Amino acid sequence: MNDPCAHCEEMMQPYLDHVLTDEEMAQAEAHLAECVDCRRRYKFEESLRIYVRKAVTEQIPAELREKLAALRIPLE
């Protein structure tokens, strides 16, 4: 039998992307229910994704927004 934590690590990204089959999902959840280490690492990955998204999100500069609006083709 392979290391169940190593297998759970393999499943993490597809699990969080919701693309596992029902069977794989049940397998991952069964392991997560009993393994606090994997559970923590999954939780961390979820927080990381949200954190990364917040950290790199930039609003469109107001001047750029105006420049884009000025590119509209005038009505004849």
Q: How many CA atoms lie within 13 A of 60 on its CB side?
A: 8
Q: Which of 31, 11, 30, 33 is nearest to 21 (CA)?
A: 11
Site string for other proteins, 32-71 (x = CB under 8 A): --------xx-xxxxxxx-xxx-xxxxxxx--xx-xxx-x
Q: Nearest approach, Cβ of 4 to other proteins (angstroms)? A: 13
- Note the residues at the interface with other proteins (CB under 8 A): 9-10, 12-13, 19, 40-41, 43-49, 51-53, 55-61, 64-65, 67-69, 71-73, 75
